[in-house]
Structure 1
Amino acid sequence: MHPSRRHHFLNVARSMNNYVIASSHHYYQRQYYRSMQDRVNYLTMHRRQALADVGLSGLFAYGLNYIGMPPSVVNFGYRVGYFFDVNS
């Protein structure tokens, strides 16, 4: 990847990370998928996840949850993202 493009993506990721941290209070109140049982990440209970840590599963679940999908659809999106996280 070209260095300037990589720098652009790092800036975008940093901005998105700041947005998620700022809105994490509302996000974690409405979290339907079970990250502790499905993913081996034991730090979730002690610190908030950064956007760079959640992978596709978290992004899919967050996006579906953000637009107001029911828990079953959010969970399905999480599992689709988890499939790509594991098999990529």
Structure 2
Amino acid sequence: MHFGAVPLTKDGRLSAKEVIGNKKALTEFQDRYNQFINERGFQLERGESKLVTQKKHQDMDQYKQGTKYHETVFYQAKKK
């Protein structure tokens, strides 16, 4: 599930830092949200922290190279 929000301050400015805080605060918010939803009968699973998985972010180009994205798109287009 994805949740979209616009971090507006009380005076109408955009400021994720003021509304959400830092990465730790965001993680804590996501944990509380997951608990809140599950207490109301839904069965959502929270993803594992990258501290646990030790995974590192890849930029889009690295991801596409690793998955051979462009080759797949080319062959799919060729089949049509």
Give the TM-score band, short-chain normalised: under 0.3
Q: Which has the larger radius of gyration?
A: 2
TM-score with structure 1 setting the length: 0.26
